[in-house]
Chain A
Amino acid sequence: AQSVTQPDIHITVSEGASLELRCNYSYGATPYLFWYVQSPGQGLQLLLKYFSGDTLVQGIKGFEAEFKRSQSSFNLRKPSVHWSDAAEYFCAVAPGGGSNYKLTFGKGTLLTVNP
C-alpha cells in the first residue's frame, strides 16, 4: 500500500521569504501526486497535481512542486510567502490503475507566517 511522509509538522517563515514543504511517498510505481491546503473552517483545496510528463508542476496561488522519482519526493515550493498562505498543507498520493480515486494523505505541515 502507498504511504506519505511529511517530515515537518510545523514550519514558520517570514512574509516574503521562500518556502519549501517536504513530501516523500512510498509506492511501487509512479503514483498520482497532489498537494492540498486546508484553512481553518474551510474544506481542503487542491493546489496542484502531478500525473505524468513535466516533473515541475505549476499550481494556484503561485505554488509549484517538483516530482523527483529518484528521491520519491514531491516537494512544494513558493518563492515569496504571503500572510494569507498561513494554513495546513497536505501531500497526498493515489495509486495508478483502478483505485486511482483513493487518496492517501500525509499528516500535514502547519505553516505559520510572521509579519
Chain B
Amino acid sequence: GAGVSQSPRYKVAKRGQDVALRCDPISGHVSLFWYQQALGQGPEFLTYFQNEAQLDKSGLPSDRFFAERPEGSVSTLKIQRTQQEDSAVYLCASSHRTVASGEQYFGPGTRLTVT
C-alpha cells in the first residue's frame, strides 16, 4: 500500500514568506507527527496529533509555526514569516496506534530552503 507522502518535496522561500507543507499519512492511521531535521542533525519532535486533536505542540520552535489536521487525515504545517534558521527537512510520520509500541512510518520529507 501507499506510504506517507509529503508535498512539496522541495521548497525555496524568500525570508519573510509564508509556506505550507502537506502530509498525507497512511490511510487509517490515528497518530500523526511532525519533525524538523536540520543539516547534520537528527530529527527533532515538533508536534503530535491524535486524529484531529493536537495533543502536543511542545516542540514548535516559535509562534510562527502552526500545524493542523482538521479532518483527522491530511495535515499541514505552516510557517509564517520564514527565517533562515527555518531551513531544514520537515518530516511527517504516522502510526496506527497512539503509543510508542506503534511503529512510526516516516515520509520522505520536505526540504525547505529559506534564502
Chain A residues with CB under 8 Å of chain B are 4, 32, 36, 41-46, 49, 51, 90, 92, 94, 99-108
B105, A101: Cβ atoms closer than 8 Å? no
Smallest beta-carbon distance A3→chain B, Å: 11
Grouping DSSP codes into helix (H, G, I), strand (E, B) and loop, the B interface class, with mixed when no group exceeds half, is loop
Given contacts A90-B42, A107-B40, whether A101 and B108 have CB atoms under 8 Å apart is no
CB atoms of A108 and B42 under 8 A apart: yes
Does residue B88 face the partner (Cβ distance < 8 Å to A)?
Answer: no
Inter-chain contact A90/B43, CB cutoff 8 Å:
yes
The docked-state distance in angstroms from the alpha carbon of A45 to that of B4 is: 12
| Closest-CB distance, A17 to chain B (whole angstroms) | 25
Q: Which residues of B contact A (CB under 8 A)?
A: 3-4, 31, 33, 35, 40-45, 48, 56, 91, 93, 95, 98-101, 103-109
| Docked-complex contact B48 and A102, CB < 8 angstroms | yes
Do A43 and B91 form a contact, CB below 8 Å, given A105-B42, A107-B40, A107-B41?
A: yes
* Nearest opposing residue in chain B for A33, CB measure: B100
CB distance from B65 to the nearest CB of A (A): 17
Q: How far is the CB of B112 from chain A (nearest CB, A)?
A: 16
Query: Which chain A positions have C-beta within 8 A of B105?
Result: 43
Residues from chain A with a CB closer than 8 A to the CB of B31 are: 101
The interface residues of chain A lying within 8 Å CB-to-CB of B40 are 107
Q: Is A102 within 8 A of B45, CB to CB?
A: yes
Which residues from B are CB-within-8-Å of A46? 103-104
4 closest Cβ pairs, A-B complex: A105-B42, A43-B106, A100-B100, A44-B106
